[in-house]
Structure formats: C-alpha cells, structure tokens
Amino acid sequence: MSRAERKKDHIQHALNSVTENSNSFDDVRFVHNSLPETSVSQINLSVSIGELMLSSPIIINAMTGGGDKETERINESLAACARDSGTAMAVGSQMAAFKDPAVKRTYSIVRKVNQKGLIFANLGSELTLDQAKRAVDMVEADALQIHLNVIQELVMPEGDRDFQGALETIAHISSSLEVPVIVKEVGFGVSSEAVKALKETGAAAVDIGGKGGTNFAVIENQRREEPYSFFNEWGLSTAVSLAEAVHSASKELSVIGSGGIRDGYDLAKAIALGADACGIAGRVLAAANDGGKEKAERYIQHCLHELTIIMAALGADSIQQLQSVPLVITGRTRDWLLDRGIH
Ligand code: FNR
C-alpha cells in the first residue's frame, strides 16, 4: 500500500472509530459550587504555551496532508475553521512532502488559508534538524510538533523497528530551532517517567495524546494478517496520563491534554486535571468530513461555549483558575493513580 493510500485509509478508519462513547473522563467529576461569584461575561479562555499565546485552549491536532486532492480539501476546511474560530492548528506529518515534493501544497494550503493564525508543523522523532527547518518553513509554522508513535510503528508491518536516539534528537532540535518544540503522543499517553526525561530536552510542551479516542493500534491491526491484539488495549488513558504528566512537569514544560476529547465537558475536565491547552483530532475531522468548514467550526464554537458555561458554574474566570478547582476521581483512573502513588 502506498503512503497516500495509507493516509486515506487512516482517515477512513479514524472516521469509523469516532463512535467510542465512554472514556476515562467519565471517572472525573466536578464538585458543584453554589457560590461561584462570577458571570459568564467575565470568563477568559486565553492561554499560553511557553511563548505562544492562544485565544482559546483548543488546538486542532495533527492529522493530514501528503495524500491526494481529498487530503488537501480536508486541510483547507480545517484551516478555514481554525482561522474563523481563532484556534491553533497542527498539520499532519510532513515527511510525505520530503519524499514527494508534489504533495507540499496539501500542507502549505493551511498557511495560505489562515495567514495570521497559529500553525504547528509536524514530524516524527526520526527527523533531522534540516527537515525540522524545512517543515517549519513549509507552513510558516509557529511551533513544531515532534510525534512519538512507537506502538503504531510496531503494529505497521512496514513500520520502524529502531527507536534509539529520540531523546537526543528532541534535545538537539529544541536547542537549535527558532520556534518552540511540542513533543506529542498519538493516542497511547505519556507516563510520568517519560515526562521527567522530556523536561531535560528543552521542549516547550508535551501533548500527552492519551488513550480513549482515535486508536492507531486498532487501525493498523486491521491491516495485519496476524494482529498484535494486545496493543489494542495498550497505553495510559487520557485522564491517567494527564495526572501523570502534570505530576512530573515543571513551569518550563507545558502540558497539552488530548486523546478522545469529545466536548466542552471533557475540555473542562482535562484542564482541571492540569492541562494548559487541549488537542482535538478525530472529532473535528468527523465534523469537517460531514459538513466541511461550517460544521467543523460549529463543533469548535459549541465546545468553547460549553467550556465557558462550565467555568461560570465552577466560579473559574480563567483557564488558570479552572486548573485548580476541586475534582473527585473514581473507578479505574483512581485505581491507577493510587497504584502509581500520584494524588
Ligand atoms: C492523526 N494523528 C497524527 N498525529 C501526528 O502527530 N501526526 C500525524 O500525521 C497524525 N495523523 C493522524 C491522522 C488521522 C486521520 C488522525 C485521526 C489522527 C493523531 C492525532 O493528532 C491525535 O494525537 C490522536 O488522533 C488522538 O486524538 P483524538 O483523535 O482522539 O482527538
């Protein structure tokens, strides 16, 4: 299967798997506040990730580029949605554009459509500094996402088998590139130990990309004759991974929560668990696929509206205040965190 066909396949499988309705956020509950002492008009959704200022905590996370006309059309819709909702957006892995320069425009369309917004470039951890610079230039990016996708590679029959040197590469790129580096998982979560190691690299942020939404083990296993089924259940759930990451992160390393975020309620819970911002991929893709830019933008605006209302209910005027409201954690998330000594 060619790279372009695989990308199309990913989009189709991801769209089919967006139906998962329960995830680790269901273990997280807010404590009702009868005296919030705020008003809806007072709520401020702006956040910062290192030096980047975002008007809201939502990032349309890395998905596509590099395929055919269809991927270009999706990126165009997502970019217009990002522009009109003031949302940051990442493009999908740009390695495809280095292998086939003809597909560059499926990425650069994003900057053409959204000239002033925040755009993140994206490459895997096997990147070189030269590729990092070219990827940033291609979309005039404000940051570079370096994705970690060990499980996806292992399940892919043609995937990588050697994962040595990723930390060193991340440190080298972080210290040499002019824009900040965001290290991200793609749906298996990042542990407290991995976050400790990433703190030493100079990366500006870690996007924990937890389990509970798009599942690349399931997607890639569908293409294997003998599936590695054990990886379908692998990984840290988004709630667990957020708690683990926040436990180990420092002021210098922002934490982005992502993986299965469905709505404003999940956004609020991710932030209350300590996320500085949140990424959404699969559900925005589904909306864009269904009704183009308009439906994707309606979905994002609805999420932001729900988040605002929830913040008013909790008496949190800012994202920073939402990060410290009381929470009750139950079920498997509580068991995991107790077992790991994270409270
Ligand atoms: C992705 N994701 C992804 N991530 C990345 O860093 N580079 C990439 O090229 C891609 N490609 C990609 C394609 C498609 C079709 C989807 C749905 C996703 C992963 C994505 O950014 C995110 O980490 C996960 O999808 C988890 O978030 P959701 O989908 O559960 O919100």
**pLDDT band, residue 18 (cuts 50/70/90):** low
- What is the interface pTM, i.e. ipTM, of the complex? 0.99
- Give the pLDDT confidence score for residue 202 in this predicted structure: 98
Ligand 1 pocket check for 210: Cβ under 6 Å: no
Residue 222 contacts residue 13 (beta carbons within 8 Å): yes
Q: From residue 319, how far is each of 53, 138, 157, 200, 211 by CA, in Å? A: 13, 32, 42, 26, 23
pLDDT in tens, 312-335: 999 999 999 999 999 999 999 999
pLDDT digits (tens, 9 = 90+) for 216-253: 999 999 989 999 999 999 999 999 999 999 999 999 99
C-beta 243 within 6 A of ligand 1: no
The position carrying tokens 């830019």 is 293
Phi, psi for 145 (deg, rounded to 5): -90, 130
Containing 33, the helix (H) or strand (E) segment is none
One DSSP character per residue, 229-245 reads: GGGGG-S-BHHHHHHHH
Ligand 1 centre distance from Cα of residue 96 (Å) = 15
Distance between CA atoms of 144 and 135, rounded to whole angstroms? 8
Distance of CA 179 to the CA centre of its chain: 18
**How far is the C-alpha of 106 from the C-alpha of 91, rounded, in Å?**
9
Mutate to test the pocket of ligand 1, among 61, 98, 147, 266 (most ligand atoms within 8 A of CB): 61
Pocket-testing residue among 127, 214, 261, ligand 1, by greatest number of atoms within 8 A of Cβ: 214
Provide the CA 265 distance to its chain's centre, in angstroms. 17
- pLDDT-derived band at 67 (thresholds 50, 70, 90) equals confident
pLDDT at position 19 over 70: no
Tokens encoding 285 = 């893709």
Average pLDDT over residues 30-48: 98
Cβ–ligand 1 contact at 77 (below 6 Å): no
Residue 17 confidence (pLDDT): 67
Mean pLDDT of the chain: 95
Using a 6 Å cutoff on CB, does residue 106 contact ligand 1?
no
Assess whether pLDDT exceeds 60 at residue 111. Answer: yes
